[in-house]
C-alpha cells in the first residue's frame, strides 16, 4: 500500500505525518532523512496495528498541487 505523506519544513528540521494513519509521525534534518524516518514510522505503525488485531486503514488521502490564482 502507498500512503500519502505530508512533509513540512520547520525552523530547524523537517517533520512528516501520514493523514490516513493518525499518530504516525517522524522528524529529520534533511528530506532524505525524513523520507527514511517516515517509511520506518509507517512500517512500525502498521506492525503495531496488526499486533493489536486492529484493521489496517486503506489509503484514502489524495494529494494535488493547485496553482494559486
| Domain spans in the chain, listed from the N-terminal domain onward | 1-69
Q: Could you report the per-residue pLDDT of 3-52, keeping only the tens digit for each?
A: 999 999 999 999 999 999 999 999 999 999 999 999 999 999 999 999 99
* Terminal Cα distance for the chain, rounded: 34
1-69 placed in CATH 3.40.50.300: no
Please say whether the beta carbons of 27 and 13 come within 8 A. Answer: yes
Give the per-residue pLDDT at 55.
96
Q: Is the pTM of this model over 0.95?
A: no
Grid cell in block for residue 68: 494559486
- Read off the pLDDT band of 69 (50, 70, 90): confident
Q: Where do we find the cell 493489536?
A: 52
Amino acid at each position: 500500500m502507498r500512503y500519502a505523506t505530508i512533509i513540512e519544513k520547520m525552523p530547524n528540521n523537517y517533520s512528516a505525518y501520514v493523514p490516513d494513519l493518525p499518530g504516525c509521525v517522524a522528524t529529520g534534518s534533511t528530506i532524505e532523512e525524513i523520507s527514511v524516518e517516515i517509511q520506518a514510522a509507517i512500517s512500525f505503525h502498521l506492525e503495531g496495528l496488526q499486533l493489536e488485531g486492529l484493521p489496517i486503514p486503506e489509503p484514502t488521502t489524495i494529494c494535488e498541487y493547485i496553482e494559486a490564482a
